[in-house]
Chain A
C-alpha cells in the first residue's frame, strides 16, 4: 500500500479534467438561450452519441459483436425487457465465438 506523490498528482489531474468535462456542458447551457433549434439538437444527442460510439466499436470488434448487438435490439423491440435483451446479446456473442463462426 503505497501512494507515490507523482501518481497522486496524475490521479488528481485526471479527476479534475473529468469533472470539468462533466460540469462544462451543463454550465454552458445555463449561459446561452435555449432556442427551439438548440432544444431539438439536445433531444437528438442520446441517439447520436450511441450511434457515434457503438458503430465504430462494433465494426472494429468483428461479426460476432455485430450479430450480438442486432440480436439484443431484436429482443428489446419484441419484449421491451432490457435485462433479457442484454443477456441474449452477451450469450449470442459467446456462442458465436465458441462456434468459431466469427471473431
Chain B
C-alpha cells in the first residue's frame, strides 16, 4: 500500500527528521539544562547518590514527578511509601495519557514495535513541537523522536553539573530561566491559532484549570482543565 492510497497520512522515519526535531527543540534547550541541573542540585541536598540521581533522570524522564519524588524524600524508602510515590507519579503525569491519545491518528500507522518505544521519548515541549508539525501537514515520526532524544541527552547530562555545583544553579529566577517552559508553551500556541472560534476550547481549559488550581491542591488542574477544553473542542464544529 503506497502513501497516497492511505491518503498521504502514513507516518514514516528519516534521518533528516531526527536532525530537524532536535533543531526545533533549540529554543527550550537552555531551560531543559537549567531544570535538569536544578534536579541534580536538589537530589544532592536530599542525599541521593550521583548514580541514583542520574539513573532517575534517565529512566523516569519526567521533570515534575521527579521533583515531587524528591519532596517526599527520604520518607518514601519503605514499601508503603513507594506505593504512594507510584500513585503520585501517575497523577502528576496523567496528561501524558491525553498527549499520546492525540498521537494515535499519526503514530498509529506505524508498527507497534516502532510506535511504543517511541512513546518513551515524549516530553511536553517535544510533543508540542510534533503536534505543531503535524497540524501543518507533516508526517515524519522522527520529528518527535529527534526532539525527544535531544531533550533526553540534555536532561540526563545536566544532572551531573547540577549535582556537583549545587546552589549555583538554584538562583534561576534572576536570569529568567524559570519562565522558559511557560513562555515556550505559549509561543507554540501561536502557529496553532485557527481563529477565535477554534480558540474557545483553550479559554475553557484555562478557565477550568484556574478554578481547579484555586480549589484543589496538587496537579489536578492540568488534567481537569485539559479534558474540559477537549470536550469543548468536540462540540465546536468546523464551519
Contact = CB atoms under 8 A, between A and B. Distances in A.
Contact of A1 (B49, B76, B187, B206): B49
Contacts of B48: 7
B202 A56 contact: no
Contact of A21 (B50, B93, B127, B226): B93
Given A1-B50, A10-B76, A58 B234 contact: no
B206 A28 contact: no
A98 B77 CA distance: 41
B102 interface: yes
B183 interface: yes
A22 B98 CA distance: 9
A26 B99 CA distance: 8
B101 A72 contact: no
Interface of B is mostly: helix
Given A1-B49, A77-B190, A51 B205 contact: yes
B78 A6 contact: yes
A81 to B, nearest CB: 9
B102 A45 contact: yes
Nearest to B189: A50
Interface in B9-26: 24, 26
B119 to A, nearest CB: 5
B100 A46 contact: no
A54 B185 contact: yes
The contact size tier of chain A is: 35 or more
Interface of A is mostly: helix
A30 B61 CA distance: 25
Interface string A29-62: 1100010011111111111111111111111110
A17 B89 contact: yes
Given A14-B56, A25-B101, A26-B107, A43 B78 contact: no
Interface of B: 24, 26-28, 30-31, 48-52, 55-56, 59-62, 65-66, 69, 76-78, 81-83, 85-86, 89-90, 93-105, 107-108, 115-116, 119-120, 122, 124, 127-128, 131-132, 135, 173-180, 182-192, 198-199, 201-206, 208-210, 212-213, 221-226, 228-238
18 contacts: A21-B94, A22-B100, A25-B102, A25-B103, A29-B108, A41-B230, A42-B102, A44-B229, A45-B99, A49-B222, A50-B189, A73-B186, A82-B187, A86-B28, A89-B176, A89-B187, A93-B178, A94-B175
Given A26-B107, A48-B226, 15 more contacts: A13-B85, A22-B96, A23-B100, A23-B116, A24-B96, A26-B100, A29-B101, A29-B104, A51-B205, A52-B226, A54-B182, A60-B213, A61-B179, A83-B26, A89-B176
